[in-house]
């Protein structure tokens, strides 16, 4: 072949398997085989991590119930924590110590009725504040002004009693009148209602006049002997309408109640051991959606209830835990207020 001449060989196109050389065919075979194997491994890995989905028959269903969480809100302030009570007592005693260095004439003008009353009361109780203990700011025992552990002055009821006793005194006790008789006149004082009621002392769980500082919830015993919130099956109505009906069918018409909202505050699911027939369906359980309500006045009356209820109780959150089943408690505990 001459150097200046160029020759071009043209290959005729071929069809069929012989158009690819052996090395290319082997490479393509190995590539597709590897890709297919990787795809199979990926599907196997996914199948290992994702559990199979249970196929639910269209004929299965759950019964839908409406429950009512009927509560009575707190009527008085909460009980003080022991640390809070001790701190308030410390503040009051400290205020007395800081105020004593001032002469009483800083507060009362000489020979006025207020000054005379102050002198008489100081002679009677030997301390400016009767409810927080005696204190002598002058003398050898002035340093000894701490309350001992278990002292009555640290008790809240003792402090209230002493304040009422001080308010009832007119300042004339012990003074003789014109006839020579000793005066024991007392001024009328409006006393606060006790925080502990008779229902508390008797542990009457049917009374609304107990645990006044806590929220009480209505718990009823159904026909099967189980304690739960009032509930019934949902009929041709919405949840709000069903809740109104359940309240009336549970406690009668003489309860003044208020449904707080139209949205459920929680739900409880009960699975049956065996499916139960319901028409053309098989019910595998029941789902109860709870509506929140408040009682403003009145009381529960089960004499004419239409839900076959046997008994009722008004219970606080920790008391309710001991009456209901464990699974029921786990479903409703976050719906209840701590106080």
pLDDT tens digits, one per residue of 134-159: 766 667 777 777 777 778 888 888 88
Same domain, 235 and 258: yes
Same domain, 237 and 324: yes
Same domain, 100 and 226: no
- Measured CA to CA, the distance from residue 320 to residue 339 in angstroms comes to 13
Residue 221: beta bridge partners? 227, 311
What are 157's two structure tokens?
């009821």
Mean pLDDT of 314-325: 95
How many structural domains does the chain have? 3
pLDDT at 17: 46
Same domain, 69 and 40: no
Same domain, 105 and 155: yes
pLDDT digits (tens, 9 = 90+) for 89-121: 888 888 877 776 677 788 888 889 888 888 877
Same domain, 36 and 92: no
* Percent of the chain whose predicted confidence (pLDDT) is above 70: 73
Confidence of residue 11 (pLDDT cuts 50, 70, 90): very low
Domain contains 95 = yes
Domain contains 179 = no
Final residue in a domain of this structure, among 168, 186, 213: 168
Confidence of residue 16 (pLDDT cuts 50, 70, 90): very low
- Measured CA to CA, the distance from residue 138 to residue 159 in angstroms comes to 24
Mean pLDDT of 263-277: 92
Confidence of residue 3 (pLDDT cuts 50, 70, 90): very low
Residue 72 has pLDDT above 70, yes or no: yes
* CA of residue 1 relative to chain centroid, distance: 103
Same domain, 258 and 143: no
Q: Which residue has the higher pLDDT, 138 or 180?
A: 138
Same domain, 31 and 64: no
Domain contains 175 = no
Domain contains 214 = yes
Domain contains 257 = yes
Same domain, 26 and 98: no
Domain contains 186 = no
Same domain, 66 and 116: no
Mean pLDDT of the chain: 80
Domain that holds residue 35: 19-49
Domain contains 134 = yes
pLDDT at 330: 96
- Domain at 256, CATH number: 3.90.79.10
Same domain, 292 and 203: yes
Same domain, 205 and 71: yes
pLDDT at 159: 84
Of 170, 197, 163, 167, nearest to 184 (Cα)?
A: 170
Domain contains 315 = yes
């Amino acid at each position: 072949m001459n150097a200046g001449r160029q020759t071009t060989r043209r290959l005729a196109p071929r069809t069929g398997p012989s158009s690819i050389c052996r090395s290319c065919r082997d490479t393509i075979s190995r590539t597709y085989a590897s890709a297919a194997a990787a795809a199979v491994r990926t599907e196997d890995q996914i199948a290992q991590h994702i559990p199979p989905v249970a196929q639910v028959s269209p004929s299965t269903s759950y019964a839908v119930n409406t429950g009512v969480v009927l509560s009575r809100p707190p009527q008085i302030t909460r009980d003080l924590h022991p640390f809070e009570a001790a701190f308030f007592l410390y503040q009051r005693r400290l205020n007395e110590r800081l105020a004593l260095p001032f002469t009483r004439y800083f507060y009362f003008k000489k020979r006025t009725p207020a000054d005379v009353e102050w002198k008489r009361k100081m002679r009677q109780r030997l301390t400016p504040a009767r409810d927080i203990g005696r204190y002598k700011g002058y003398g050898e025992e002035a340093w000894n002004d701490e309350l001992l552990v278990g002292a009555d002055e640290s008790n809240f009821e003792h402090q209230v009693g002493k304040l009422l006793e001080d308010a009832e005194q007119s300042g004339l006790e012990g003074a003789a009148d014109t006839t020579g008789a000793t005066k024991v006149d007392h001024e009328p004082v409006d006393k606060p209602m006790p925080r502990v009621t008779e229902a508390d002392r008797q542990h009457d769980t049917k009374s609304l006049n107990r645990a006044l500082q806590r929220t009480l919830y209505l718990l009823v015993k159904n026909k099967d002997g189980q304690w739960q919130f009032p509930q019934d099956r949902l009929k041709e109505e919405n949840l709000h309408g069903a809740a109104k009906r359940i309240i009336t069918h549970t406690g009668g018409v003489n309860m003044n109640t208020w449904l707080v909202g139209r949205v459920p505050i929680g739900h409880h699911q009960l699975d049956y051991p065996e499916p139960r027939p319901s028409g053309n369906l098989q019910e595998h359980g029941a789902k109860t959606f709870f509506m929140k309500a408040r009682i403003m006045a009145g009381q529960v009356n089960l004499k004419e209830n239409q839900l076959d209820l046997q008994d009722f109780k008004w219970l606080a959150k920790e008391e309710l835990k001991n009456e209901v089943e464990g699974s029921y408690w786990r479903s409703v505990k976050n719906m209840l207020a701590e106080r």
